[in-house]
Amino acid sequence: MKLLILILISILVTIFAIQNSAIVSVSFFNRTFEGSLALVIILCYLIGVLSGFFYLIPSILRKNITISELKEKSVSINKEKENKQL
């Protein structure tokens, strides 16, 4: 199933690249870059994905730390309960 999805995505990306092969100029900080429209769109998308990922990293790390701390507390509480029952 995964292979089928990868093949489908590859076909769609290829069609996208063929249909958007026009050369465009992109100006950024007094520099001009030229490339195909598909390449520019894909690069902008990847920059957006990476910036979103970097934005989420601190909250993911905080949640993982909290989860590990709560697991440690749970283990210690369970040990205390076992000791009281003995």
What pLDDT, on the 0 to 100 scale, is given for residue 61?
Answer: 94
Q: What is the C-alpha end-to-end distance of the chain, expressed in Å?
A: 53
Angstrom distance (rounded) from CA 47 to CA 30: 20
Is 17 or 57 the better-scoring residue by pLDDT?
A: 57
pTM to 2 decimal places:
0.60
Q: What is the pLDDT of residues 57-70, one digit of tens each?
A: 999 999 999 999 99
Residue 28: the pLDDT is 85
Which residues contact residue 53 at a Cβ distance below 8 angstroms, ignoring those fewer than 6 apart? none
More reliable by pLDDT, 3 or 77: 77
Q: Which segments of 1-86 does DSSP mark as H helices, in order?
A: 2-19, 37-85
Average pLDDT, rounded, for the chain: 87
Instruction: Check: CB of residue 12 under 8 Å from CB of residue 3.
Output: no
19-34 residue pLDDT tens: 877 888 988 898 898 9
